[in-house]
Amino acid sequence: MYVCLCNAVSDKTIREVVRRYQPKSIQHLRQLVPVGKQCGKCIHAARRIMEEEMKHPAQYKEIA
């Protein structure tokens, strides 16, 4: 499902970015994914998805 129609960002993309980078705020998420850059209607949905995904442990491990 598209969360941000202006920039064609899906919930799957947001979930993957949150799992990988563990952003601590919506501002940090916005640096990683172009949500809320134009009309801003997607911010609430993106925040909800981010909070939902942050409840789960990280699936990605850094490889040195």
- Tell me the per-residue pLDDT of 4-63, one tens digit each, with 9 for 90 and over: 999 999 999 999 999 999 999 999 999 999 999 899 999 999 999 999 999 876 655 555
- The domain 2-54 having CATH identifier 3.30.1360.10: the answer here is no
What was the pLDDT predicted at 28? 96
Give the CA distances from residue 14 to residues 44, 47, 54, 64, in Å, rounded to whole numbers and listed in that order.
13, 10, 11, 25
Q: pLDDT tens digits for 45-56? A: 999 999 999 987
pLDDT at residue 61 in the model: 58
Which is nearest to 29 in space by CA: 18, 15, 39?
18
Kindly give the interhelix angle for 43-54 and 11-21, rounded to the nearest 10 degrees: 50
pLDDT for the residue 35: 95
pTM (two decimals):
0.83
